Amino acid sequence: MDHSVMIISMSFWIQVCLLFTSSLPAAGVQIRLVGPGSTQCSGRVEVFHGGTWGTVCNDGWDLNDAQVVCRQLNCGTAVSAPGSAHFGEGFDPIWLDDVACSGNESSLTECQHPGFGTEDCVHDEDAGVICSDHVRLVGPGSSRCSGRVEVFHGGTWGTVCDDGWDLNDAQVVCRQLNCGMALSALSSAHFGQGSDPIWLDDVACSGSESSLTECQHPGFGTEDCGHHEDAGVTCSGSQIRLAGSAFTQCSGRVEVFHGGTWGTVCDDGWDLNDVQVVCKQLDCGTAVSAPGSAIFGQGSDPIWLDDVACSGNESSLTECQHPGFGTEDCGHDEDAGVTCSDKVELGLSM
């Protein structure tokens, strides 16, 4: 064979090999998030098996499963677990179905499932996740919506110093985690001391940012703190929020979080006892009025609750009597709202 032809042939096969290997995941990587509207930390869940990327069916898909995905990708905590091909339909194969994670597994493939390729699904059931991105709450006494604030940067989780830490900063964290409203901005390592690095100091949020790292700060790693100054937050919780009001945090259309999705409440039987529970749950003072008829605008499906009957003493709206999530005979022109006594302007301290 002519020497020049041999060189061209070798070059061709090298390019083919490079093209093939570029489509493979990096060593140890077996999961990715893709699809229309996806980001590094949200998208359609796909796993790598048998040399091929494939999707996950949404049968039984919930926040525990999403939590494992978010942890595996270093994307903070799970905010929601959308199904029904929320991020578009993938392509065959469908590798996993009926995934049942406890939430503590280190990878999705460690969760219980009937086996790769054992499924009875189509791609309009592809599962997705939305993660909090690069913030998490941890430490002794922490929960999904309260704890020591940590951010992910440079491949490592680190803490936030409490210099200037206030409710505006906490509000951004709570919103980013879909944890309702900020109840307190804690300092002095209230949830225990973290370990190096301390990534952020002198954070100055307006309260309207979508993520903590969008707030003003002098730069990652620029700090003069010790871990006894680690910042924390306590949020109102992930199960309820008020929407549709441009002016206050303590009035709006009532929405509850269930099955990985926010949905509305029907105004059938809606009264001040019900509103009292919502106001208490959001630390918004006492009930002022119980408006119905979508006064704060119409939400979108699902309608999660109808015929809610609270005594007024419950600690959360979902503890009140109701016929069950999704059991309703309403339209969104009946979406329930609340007005509480603490009409706090957005971005200001309570």
Decide if pLDDT at 10 tops 80: no
Of 99 and 133, the one with more pLDDT: 99
**CA separation for the pair 346, 243 (Å, rounded):** 12
Among positive and negative, which fits the CA dihedral 152, 157, 163, 167? positive
Confidence of residue 219 (pLDDT cuts 50, 70, 90): very high
**291 Cβ neighbours under 8 A, 6+ residues apart:** 336, 337, 338, 339
* Structure confidence at residue 248 (pLDDT): 66
Q: Is 0.75 surpassed by the pTM of this model?
A: no
* Structure confidence at residue 109 (pLDDT): 92
Task: Return the half-sphere exposure (C-beta side, CA atoms, 13 A cut-off) of residue 326.
Answer: 5
Structure tokens at 56: 């996950």
Decide if pLDDT at 266 tops 70: yes
Decide if pLDDT at 21 tops 70: no
Of 229 and 6, the one with more pLDDT: 229
Average pLDDT of the chain, as a whole number = 85
Peptide bond into 36 cis (omega under 30): no
**CA separation for the pair 242, 275 (Å, rounded):** 12
Q: Which residue shows structure tokens 């893709």?
A: 34
Structure tokens at 61: 């898909």
Confidence of residue 40 (pLDDT cuts 50, 70, 90): confident
For the segment 320-336, the average pLDDT, to the nearest whole number, is 94
* Structure confidence at residue 247 (pLDDT): 56
Q: How far is CA 333 from CA 267, 276, 294, in A?
A: 9, 22, 5
Confidence of residue 244 (pLDDT cuts 50, 70, 90): confident
How long, in residues, is the chain? 350
pLDDT tens column, 150-189: 998 888 899 999 999 999 999 999 888 878 778 789 999 9
* Structure confidence at residue 260 (pLDDT): 63
**CA separation for the pair 249, 282 (Å, rounded):** 9
